[in-house]
Amino acid sequence: MPTTTPRVSDIVDGLTALTGTAVGPTRITGTDPITPSPHRIGDASAAAIAAFGAQIAALGDSSRVSVSVSDAVDQLRAAYLTTINGQSTGSVAEDPTALRNNDFYRTADGWTFLITTFPHQRDAVCSVLNCPPTKERIAQAALAWKSVALEEAVVAAGGVAAAARTAEQWAASPVGIDVARRPVIDLERIDDADYEFLTAPREWPPLNGVRVVDMTHVIAGPVSTELLAAFGADVVHVTRPDLVDPHPMPALTGGGKRNAYCDVRDPDQLAELTDLIADGDVFVNAYRGLQRHDLDAEHLARRRPGIIVVEYHCWGSDGPWGDRGGFDQLARSATGFSLEEGRGGPPTLPPTHLLNDYLAAYLGATGIVATLRRRQSEGGSWRVRVRLARVCTWVQSLGPSGADSDIDWGTRSIELTTVDGPFGRIDEPVIPIMFDGKPTPRPLPARPLGTSPLAW
């Protein structure tokens, strides 16, 4: 932990320094503690949102951005504040019980977080524990295991899990050491290429003409590209037709995007996708093994000089756990974040429930816009990497919030707006950034998966 607690403006400056760009001033109103979390989740969220806003403002010739810490905290729970035709997002899923078994389970020596959202993840957990997919039976079977052994067995069976480690245990592990040496926004110039200027400089919103291929799922990657779409980018979201997210996800995170199907295992569809990326500016992905299909950054930079490839990963695709999948909760479990949230008791989630997904979205979007700016002044092909585990340790590094565990919190601060579209009426939080002299774009309508061609 730091010896002194950095101000939110200093945190914004630190994030901006990682991008290698210059931005205008930011104004942050409010400060932690706002929630009962021992972590500065409000300050961290405000800093990430302000860093993104500052990059947009620099591109769009706005002088200053303002962010409220209270609104920023609400952004972390946007999925829980959003309603679809008056219904909570969880209640309209194809299987409203899909998330029910995702939890910390007590083991013989600690706790392990198990995820059973998708069928293959459920099957991995239940095959290892030799039990049916009910919370009570999973809990009973987990008691016979040690936490790390259960984690490793589930991963070996093709699932995802993470033992609840302390921050010290994580920091001393090979994967913890590898993640710690990476910046929370990791920008890398991977090849030479000519300068590329945006087609609509100084217009508002400033990303008009930028083409983005989004091959991500759930929240972090999709929210980052939803932000790009709100600020003018042309975004095509690509989904494998037999591996789709639950129904509410495209409604929650698909604003302003077109949605196409593509199965990269089919050579013809892979060729179409490769052509689509080659005619674009940014490729955002969150899947492992794309190098098998020549969709990794190095291959794409040779095919399309000047490409910006963005990689979302829980642990780092080239690190000791590069072959493991992961989600927000697993990053918090493995890094010690959840044990710290538990304040000496069982590990728990932060009061917002979500953390990394929305923070990673804004941090990745910050890196994308910064790299678009650097491509104008330096040229080059670029890679931007965001690791959920590193987001956790970045928040931990900001120091304690000083909050009492019984602090009164829960009232919504952020404004909601109504968006009408193919999903009906969606009431969702606004983008929590104010720009001096420029209007903040409102969220755009979302479209169902597979309703658009794989083309610009």
Q: pLDDT (tens digit, 0 to 9) for every residue of the chain, 456 residues total?
A: 445 789 999 999 999 999 999 999 999 999 999 999 999 999 999 999 999 999 999 988 767 999 999 999 999 999 999 999 999 988 887 776 777 899 999 999 999 999 998 889 999 999 999 999 999 999 999 999 999 999 999 999 999 999 999 999 999 999 999 999 999 999 999 999 999 998 765 788 999 999 999 999 889 999 999 999 999 999 999 999 998 888 888 999 999 999 999 999 999 999 999 999 999 999 999 998 898 999 999 999 999 999 999 999 999 999 999 999 999 999 999 999 999 999 999 999 999 999 999 999 999 999 999 999 999 999 999 999 999 999 999 999 999 999 998 898 888 999 999 999 999 999 999 999 999 989 999 999 999 999 999 999
Q: In this structure, is residue 286 part of a structural domain?
A: no
**pLDDT of the residue at 1:** 47
Number of domains in the chain: 1
**pLDDT of the residue at 196:** 94
**Left, alpha or beta for 369 (phi > 0: left; psi -120 to 50: alpha)?**
alpha
Nearest residue to 401 via CA among 9, 39, 3, 8: 39
Q: Domain span at residue 431?
A: 8-78+405-418+427-436
Q: In this structure, is residue 51 part of a structural domain?
A: yes
**pLDDT of the residue at 5:** 84
**pLDDT of the residue at 275:** 97
Q: Residue 186 CB: number of other CB atoms within 10 A?
A: 18
Cα–Cα distance for residue pair 36/38, rounded to 1 Å: 6
Cα–Cα distance for residue pair 393/396, rounded to 1 Å: 5
Q: In this structure, is residue 56 part of a structural domain?
A: yes
DSSP three-state, residue 401: coil
Q: In this structure, is residue 140 part of a structural domain?
A: no
Q: What six digits make up the tokens of 247?
A: 């129904």
Cα–Cα distance for residue pair 383/247, rounded to 1 Å: 31
Angle at 157 between CA 152 and CA 162, to 5 degrees: 35
Helix H or strand E encompassing 103: strand 103-106
Helix H or strand E encompassing 190: strand 186-191
Q: In this structure, is residue 190 part of a structural domain?
A: no
**pLDDT of the residue at 406:** 86
Q: In this structure, is residue 294 part of a structural domain?
A: no
To 10 degrees, what angle do helices 356-378 and 69-76 make?
110
pTM of model > 0.75:
yes
Q: In this structure, is residue 368 part of a structural domain?
A: no
**pLDDT of the residue at 60:** 80
Q: What six digits make up the tokens of 235?
A: 């975004």
DSSP three-state, residue 179: helix
Residues present in the chain in total: 456
Strand 103-106 relative to strand 87-88, pairing: unpaired
Q: Contact at 8 Å (CB) between 390 and 319?
A: no
To 10 degrees, what angle do helices 135-142 and 119-129 make?
50
Strand 234-239 relative to strand 211-215, pairing: parallel
Q: In this structure, is residue 25 part of a structural domain?
A: yes
